[in-house]
Copies of this chain bind each other. A is one copy, B any other.
Amino acid sequence: MLGRLNHVAIAVPDLEAASVIYRDTLGANLTQPQALPEHGVTVVFIDVGYTKIELLEPLGADSPIAAFLAKNPSGGMHHVCYEVPDIHAARDRLKKQGARILGDGEPKIGAHGKPVIFLHPKDFGGTLIELEQE
């Protein structure tokens, strides 16, 4: 079922400061910041091949990454995103196997304009997994 690894997301308290580190210290190419109000984050993608690094900064009062940054004030790896050929088939298969889908279980539109779901980290060895329709 799992397709390609699409991106790895890193939560940061300060997107501008983190961008300086990746651009100047590590010499990487970055996209312009993109606000995703429905997801409560502002994102920058780092070009390191097909699989991207996604820097996430909280946006708005109810950002879903606020609690993570409260626990990890200097930031840290937040989730990994895999592609799947059919997001609804993947969701149904996982539910049948007892895995928990976050939220109401319905796919939402993600950063690339494609439907995504998030899986409960407790069912996957402590790792928050995002699945994105190919």
Residues of A at the B interface (CB closer than 8 Å) are 1-5, 8, 10, 12, 17-18, 21-22, 25-28, 46, 48-53, 72, 74-77, 80, 82, 93-94, 97, 99, 121-127
How many of these chains are in the complex? 2
In the bound complex, residues from chain B placing their C-beta under 8 Å from that of A123 are 21, 25
In the bound complex, residues from chain B placing their C-beta under 8 Å from that of A51 are 4-5, 49-51
CA distance A82 to B28 in the complex (A): 11
Give 5 A-B pairs besides A2-B46, A12-B125, A27-B93 with Cβ atoms closer than 8 angstroms: A4-B51, A5-B48, A8-B80, A76-B77, A76-B121
Contacts A27-B2, A48-B3, A48-B82 given; does A125 touch B10 at CB 8 Å: yes
Contacts A4-B48, A99-B25 given; does A75 touch B10 at CB 8 Å: no
The answer, among B4, B5, B74, B76, for a CB contact under 8 Å with A8, is: B5
A127 adjacent to B1 (CB under 8 Å): no
CA distance A115 to B4 in the complex (A): 26
Instruction: Name 7 interchain pairs, CB-CB below 8 A, sorted by A.
Output: A2-B27, A2-B46, A8-B77, A10-B125, A25-B97, A26-B82, A50-B51
Contacts A50-B51, A53-B80, A82-B48 given; does A127 touch B10 at CB 8 Å: yes
